[in-house]
Amino acid sequence: MNYPSTDNFIKMRLKRIYSSTDAELCLEEIMELISKYKEVITPKPHVESEKDVILICYGDHLTQDGEKPLVTLKGFLDNQSQKCINSVHILPFYPYTSDDGFSVVDYTEVDRKLGTWEDIKHISQNYRLMCDAVVNHMSSKSHWFEEYLKGNDRYKDYFIDMDPSTDLTMVTRPRTSPLLTPFTAPDGTTKNIWSTFSADQVDLNYANYKVLIDVLDVLFTYVEYGATLIRLDAIAFLWKEVGSHSVHLPQTHEIIQLIREVLHQVAPEIIIITETNVPHQENVSYFGSGHDEAQMVYNFALPPLIIHSMLTGDATKMTDWAMHLELPSDKVCFFNFTASHDGVGMRPISDILSEEEVQNIVDTCRANGGLVSYRDCGDGTVKPYELNCTFKMLLTSPDKPVELRLKRMLLSQSIALAMPGVPGIYFTSLFGASNWREGAEESGVNRSINRQKFTVDELSDYLTNAVKDNFFAIYRDLIRVRTAEPCFNPYAPFRFLNLNKSLFAFEKFLEDESLFCLFNVSNDNVKINSKDLMNGSFLDIVSMKIVEGTISIPGNEFLWLKFKGEQ
């Protein structure tokens, strides 16, 4: 068979993953998928800009009697975001059995409690849509796994059955649960299934190329219903190999690059975002060359570094880290966030902060009502994996004045909004929510502490509190400022500045314009000379005041200063 150049590129990647025979068979099926979906998918061109802000939420984060949650969500976006948020990441909205959606029963269905594919499509018509590809693992109650246990040839080798005597001590573990989970098949045999994250989340076996084909089919379905951003969940663990760490393996990178290339044959506007809660240098490897892998990578080191800086009043470690931030091309950027549905990952700063500094964050989390989840290090010890706590509660003791707590929360959000890249805002952070201990206690899942859902009436009551309402209004206005400033283009050049240990600072510039972002992480007033930035006057684009000469930044406050010209 003769292959066009694009087919050759795909074939080349397949041959790095599979045998020659399987690569040929896989290529034929991929080309059939491309042909099939070209007939039903119309590309939706989009040029990334400063206007891109992504709301992260569950499909039922907001509910109202008599209305499907996805319809309620669209109403919130239309009425409350007031055109300041143009994108939405709906966390897994498929049928599931555990982990609040991340144990998927059927990739191709919408959970009936949330709504329908038509509801998803309606959202995608007005907002850029990010869909979760939870394709490292799926539910043990899924049709695929049930048929696998029954011995259905269609699903042969779709999952990984390991002899429990196999030495798997090298495997990197993100949890303390066993790596292998025993399941009894209908014929009475026991299968010990590789399950990285929990007994209900069984890992797929990409060594069988048919798994890749089925997953590509799923991803095309998401694009068909309006997704333009695909979040690859826990993708670092995709390929398994006995005798290795089974994380970041070359085959994993090849598959991500392959996914991008195949999807781009039908919809070249698709953005691939990798979610890899791992040490920073490992995380950024998913940019690839800057032209062939993820266009966005979760900036996992940012949240714990913000916390450390604000708890100590010292931005030195964050500044040192930021000084070494590099992007392999001007076609990729970071996805910047603070809070998430999981919590704050601690592995990304394992080689940035000392054990004492990490412990200080952990102790503060517990003291402020949060919880801590651990991972197995493989040597009989455990280490903090993530902090389960709302971001506001991590930053400031609950016995401090409400105004101070929300002021510090706004400072943290202003950093994420301004950082080079695209900002993502978790739903509960919009309102400065507190810990939902009741949810964690009821579910027995630490992560539930930051997964509180609201009815429309509850959210309305929540916002009637003047202070909280003021926070939401100020936050929303800050987003508007961000989306109106061209220097916040996600691909704009940047440089970080070392001005004062209490200041986290950087410059963003676009053509002949410069914007300086200064964040005082301490409680004390900090002064610098404007000449330390540039010789001239500046406009604070938040307050719209002219600043020149001595620049004063009060404790827990920030300035976004646009250079106006030389004096």
Q: pLDDT 10s per residue in the chain (567 long)? A: 444 456 788 999 999 999 999 999 999 999 999 999 999 999 988 899 999 999 999 999 999 999 999 999 999 999 888 679 999 999 999 999 999 999 999 999 999 999 999 999 999 999 999 999 999 999 999 999 999 999 999 999 999 999 999 999 999 999 999 999 999 999 999 999 999 999 999 999 999 999 999 999 999 999 999 999 999 999 999 999 999 999 999 999 999 999 999 999 999 999 999 999 999 999 999 999 999 999 999 999 999 999 999 999 999 999 999 999 999 999 999 999 999 998 999 999 999 999 999 999 999 999 999 999 998 888 888 999 999 999 999 999 999 999 999 999 999 999 999 999 999 999 999 989 899 999 999 988 899 999 999 999 888 877 777 566 688 889 999 999 999 999 999 999 999 999 999 999 999 999 889 999 999 999 999 999 999 999 999 999 999 999 999 999 999 999 999 999 775
Q: Which amino acid, 198?
A: S
pLDDT tens string 195-240 = 999 999 999 999 999 999 999 999 999 999 999 999 999 999 999 9
**Hey, which CATH number is domain 54-135+209-484, 3.40.50.300, 3.20.20.80, 2.170.120.12, 3.10.100.10?**
3.20.20.80
The residues spanned by each domain of the chain are 54-135+209-484, 494-565
CA end-to-end span of the chain: 69
CA dist 163 → 139, 177, 217, 274 (Å): 21, 17, 31, 31
Mean pLDDT score of the chain, rounded to an integer? Answer: 95
Residue 457's CB is within 10 A of a number of other CB atoms, namely 11
Residues with Cβ < 8 Å from 248, sequence gap 6 or more? 236, 278, 282, 285
Backbone phi and psi for residue 430, each to the nearest 5 degrees, phi listed first: -55, -30
Three-state DSSP at 493 gives coil
Q: Which amino acid, 427?
A: F
- 494-565, CATH topology level: Immunoglobulin-like (2.60.40)
Of residues 156, 212, 154, the one with CA closest to residue 22 = 212
Structure tokens belonging to residue 134: 């939870």
Assess contact for 518 and 553: CB atoms under 8 A: yes
**Residues that are catalytic:** 233
pLDDT tens string 48-85 = 999 999 999 999 999 999 999 999 999 999 988 867 99
